[in-house]
Amino acid sequence: MADDTIRSLRCACGWEASGQFPELVIAAQEHGRRVHNMAPTEEEVEAMLLPIGPAADHRAQPDDAQGRSA
């Protein structure tokens, strides 16, 4: 996936992140390892993505103490 579209994803546990695809893959894999002891593949992350608009100032953020991104 090579576009600038800002997307979001939501884990079944309620954790959410938004950003461009490469950022979301990293954020989802870190979240999965830390919270669920597993990491999604790029293909699994791509399957969970929801488009939310053109590139803007939204970036995937690391999890905070409650397991949700800021």
Tell whether 60 is covered by a domain: no
Tell whether 20 is covered by a domain: yes
Q: Is the pLDDT of residue 70 over 50?
A: no
In eight-state DSSP terms, residue 50 is E
Domain that holds residue 24: 6-53
Tell whether 37 is covered by a domain: yes
Tell whether 64 is covered by a domain: no
Tell whether 21 is covered by a domain: yes
**Percent with pLDDT over 70 in the chain:** 69
Single-letter code of the amino acid located at 27: A
What DSSP element (H or E) covers 6? strand 6-10
Task: Count up the domains in the chain and report the number.
Answer: 1
Distance CA 41, CA 26 (A): 10
List, for residues 34-65, the tens digit of each pLDDT value.
999 999 999 999 998 887 766 545 555 555 54
